[in-house]
A and B are shown apart, each in its own frame.
Chain A
């Protein structure tokens, strides 16, 4: 027995992943701010259901499956009982079988049909490939087809009439299927299952749209006498049943216990070392990621590195290829994987990964979704992915069934990253975020009421969404879009409404960036409407793959930016004036001298000009004017204010107060995004008086100043009532429901921000806490970081403020 134990001990030490984890812990303990070891877990199994069609059971046996994981069986039982079901399981736990089994069973026994929805085309293709494989293994004769923008016109009819399983995406359902549902009559009549994979991607604006597309789908199904059962699958989020229920519009049973076995997992939180203590500058995450990946690959471990941008993928790939792929005659050991590559190229990389032919892959979130690449040993995250859920999903890429895996999360210098690594208990202890949608967001709902009315006339008494449907319909009648006749509302406009509703973007439509270098006209990028004004103004330097392009002409109405390659040694940074007016206060709360409120605001954004900033030295080398229309928006916001007297007592001088509010806003913006599972871009921030008279901005001098929208400066000392507020607003017209949960977390947001700023290693402020400050700011006589801390303490309103 003793010998056996020693052998096990040896095996433990010999395992390369454990050895690497141990070595990193010993050598770089100063950089590791937190760690977690998740013990291995045995599989839990259940029998293959007796009623399974013999052919199907045979197909499973041919693939070596004599039993199911417990969650697969549980899904079978729920779905067969006619209940909508969501399966929440980690990567590579056999989730596809959870929906494929009941779907194939019914297709074989009742010739029923199924619709599979995936968020991307690539995943659809994977799925069809897998179904075809299973189908061939069992000689089942089930036809699965993809139906998306790439499906040729002459094949579409066959898909509609012959497909047992149609694999598509929400956009295609919205634009190509539902408005033509009569062509799909046969399909809808026998539609029994709708599968929605990667459900966690349907959140925020996109999710709110998709929930409405599903409302329309179910409405059309009812017309054909069908009431399909929804089977959803999701990565780990805090509220799978809730999200599934709001997407489907019905109760959904949640299966959250995976029966799949998992190997031991080590997770390290890693903060790069400080290289300039004065400015709080740390070594780059990139340098750390490269080093760890290098060590892992040298040690024979299959490694994946996740980067947050396509550009970073390219940079890391180059660095690692320089080490491992120097000999061009030998097959490549390092590969890159990101959006923008051709599908064939991506399929090739996926295959090489599955086959173990590649030792290291550098990827964007494109690989976070369920693309099958087999299991890997080490996962390095170059920067925090933005949410706890996405982090776990990416980490899940490493880990084979019976072997240990290592994940390393490397923080960048951004505040969110710094917050995460400096507060490891937040990440390690917290449950993943709630994913929220707001399907009744008025504009989104109205868009889909339009589309639904086009598909089938609305009848009196029908329900669609949580708002007063008749009021919405009457509104559309008033617009001349619908015609009310007796008990029904009919479409009457000469248009195809789905074409003007994009599920993924704000209503206004995206801009394309067109390269005109050498007389060519090549589309090289797409820019969201919401960020167009600040990224592709005339004169802007726009970066694609690290190559600089200069915007020569912006066609605002045509949504086009014409650019030309340039060799500029500077980049450009837009100056952003945001003026906010509080329209209505829904609810508010007091904490000592602070008041926090949630309500509706009207905001005007103006981008009056831009700065040219030289690379490396970061000096300001010039200004340019921007002439673009103001952007107006009604939305919801949460704001924090302090009693003027208390503010005057706590902060000496209004200048300090302004800098304090700006710094606090910067830190709060980032931690708030973390708290409510939003991208930082989904939220906007502003500091102003709430009455649209003035707002605060960081001027050319680096100091905060008060301005009017026309750029005129306001003297803070001359203000009679000096009552600045930090606003965090929902960056979508009408709001998508971000401010309500934010208000609920108001205390946590201020407290998290305080912790972030208090724990920062810098002296007076840095991009990791209150935002970039210039070195010369030391001369202003106070520490912007301290000012922000004071303001944050006032927001928290604790009886005993922390000493710092």
Chain B
């Protein structure tokens, strides 16, 4: 029996009318409901909200079909939390991130239809901000329907110059790949491949991973910028607002999403100069000194790395090793030795080994080297070799020692 016939039979049982085109759909829907069971959400979709209404609601203008732009200039005299925005322009280089790009910095944050990722996720709001004279200039692009996406992507592309560097929070893993996917889906050339990108989540995570409960932007804002969002729309609500706009035809919570996005952008801007301070004085900010020192060291600045560790109030064993290493590299053998001594006396084998090497190769004190070697766990091939070598050297010099007593 054909499917059509089955549908017709079902339709008859359901008592629907006999118009074949419409009836087939109803019967199919009926079958789906029976099989699919209870997952249905009530309510039919409302009609689309005109872009002009959305623009009025969020204080923007319609710049293309279903695309609203909101522009805002935040004077640099104002503050975000306790950070004066005027400091943004003077921000310093962050180790592991690079120099502050100045006017080429484009702070970016998106709000999306979902957090799951994949091609079904759309960015419906893209916020961009950059330093412009005496203000931070914000541009937010909001689509009011899928039809506006192509124009929005084009606008984002046009807003990005060749030398621009994106500054984001977790944007390397989330916003940038998402936008790249959207450009591909819209069959548009995408500018993100060649644009530089500084993701501030990475330094924050490096510095505070061990001390903070999490490294979300809200946490960083509260602890570093003195900024609290009490009336803010939680970030995970953004997908719902998109669904409310499309499905429910309501714009009620849209201004809150734009506010949320604007605060994210301001936080990004304010975060850079503060992170600059944290890297110099991590202890004062409750950051991990060793991580800060490591970042300086990796970026080639050993002096800063050492200074950070010297200033650290309480270093753990790996931190002290690191400091000893830096002192040794700077030629401060006495300083290095002092650290190793302390560690080795507390039973640290690596420190004992460092001391053995130090006594053997720097001091050429075989007896001292042997003494430290004897504290090393026996059996390791390298230790045994060192012990034999030292014994040999001592034997040789010992014979000489009889001739030339010290």
Contact = CB atoms under 8 A, between A and B. Distances in A.
| Interface core residue of A179, A182, A457, A486 (most chain B CB under 10 Å) | A182
B145 A485 contact: yes
A162 to B, nearest CB: 17
B146 A442 contact: no
A591 interface: no
Interface string B214-256: 0000000000000000000000000110110011000000000
B100 to A, nearest CB: 30
A456 interface: yes
B41 A480 contact: yes
Interface stretch (B67-75, B90-98, B108-116, B259-267): B108-116
Interface stretch (A33-41, A228-236, A413-421, A493-501): A493-501
| Interface core residue of A467, A480, A485 (most chain B CB under 10 Å) | A480
Interface string A458-482: 0000000011101110110111100
B147 A586 contact: no
A648 to B, nearest CB: 32
Size range of the interface on A?
35 or more
Interface in A571-609: 584, 586-587
A147 interface: no
A741 to B, nearest CB: 13
A178 to B, nearest CB: 9
A492 B40 contact: no
Contacts of A485: 48, 145-147
Contact of A455 (B1, B13, B45, B120): B120
A693 interface: no
A471 B243 contact: no
B118 A484 contact: no
Given A471-B29, A485-B146, A584-B10, A492 B119 contact: no
Nearest to A633: B35
Interface of A: 179-183, 185, 440, 442-443, 446, 453-457, 466-468, 470-472, 474-475, 477-480, 483-486, 488, 490-498, 584, 586-587, 634, 733-734
A496 B121 CA distance: 9
Given A483-B246, A495-B116, 20 more contacts: A179-B118, A180-B117, A182-B181, A182-B184, A183-B181, A185-B184, A442-B31, A446-B36, A453-B120, A456-B119, A468-B28, A475-B29, A478-B40, A478-B44, A486-B147, A491-B120, A492-B246, A494-B115, A494-B243, A734-B35
A494 B6 contact: no
Contacts of B243: 480, 492-494
Interface in B43-59: 43-45, 48
B118 A496 contact: yes
A180 B118 contact: yes
Nearest to B178: A182
Contact of A180 (B13, B119, B247): B119
A486 B1 CA distance: 35
Contacts of A494: 113-116, 239-240, 243
Top 7 nearest A-B pairs (CB, nearest first) are A454-B120, A494-B114, A491-B120, A496-B116, A494-B239, A182-B181, A179-B118
A495 B116 CA distance: 6
A454 B119 contact: yes
A584 B41 contact: no
Contacts of B43: 480
Given A483-B246, A484-B45, A492-B242, A584 B114 contact: no
Contacts of A475: 28-29, 32
A457 B185 CA distance: 10
B48 to A, nearest CB: 7
A468 B122 CA distance: 27
Contact of B39 (A179, A183, A479): A479
A586 B6 contact: yes
B36 A634 contact: no
Contacts of A470: 25
A360 B36 CA distance: 49
| Interface core residue of B1, B29, B119, B243 (most chain A CB under 10 Å) | B119
Nearest to B248: A480
Contacts of B29: 471, 474-475, 478
A496 B45 contact: no
B246 to A, nearest CB: 5
27 contacts: A179-B118, A180-B117, A180-B119, A440-B3, A442-B35, A443-B36, A446-B36, A454-B118, A457-B146, A466-B3, A468-B24, A472-B32, A477-B45, A478-B44, A483-B45, A483-B146, A485-B48, A485-B146, A491-B120, A493-B114, A494-B240, A496-B114, A496-B117, A496-B120, A586-B1, A586-B9, A733-B35
A586 B6 CA distance: 7
Contact of B34 (A453, A467, A480, A634): A634
B119 A182 contact: yes
Contact of B146 (A179, A183, A488): A488
A22 to B, nearest CB: 54
B118 A634 contact: no
A791 to B, nearest CB: 27
Contacts of B122: 490-491
A453 B266 CA distance: 36
A523 to B, nearest CB: 26
Contact of A179 (B119, B185, B240): B119
Contact of A495 (B41, B48, B114, B240): B114
A183 B180 CA distance: 9
Contacts of A456: 119, 185
Contacts of B247: 480, 483, 492
B146 A467 contact: no
Contacts of B25: 468, 470-471, 474
Contacts of B36: 443, 446
| Interface core residue of B25, B48, B116 (most chain A CB under 10 Å) | B116
A479 to B, nearest CB: 6
A636 to B, nearest CB: 10
A19 to B, nearest CB: 57
Given A483-B247, A492-B242, A492-B246, A472 B41 contact: no
| Interface core residue of B3, B29, B36, B247 (most chain A CB under 10 Å) | B36
A401 to B, nearest CB: 49
A199 B113 CA distance: 38
Contacts of A478: 29, 40-41, 44
A543 B45 CA distance: 52
A471 B120 contact: no
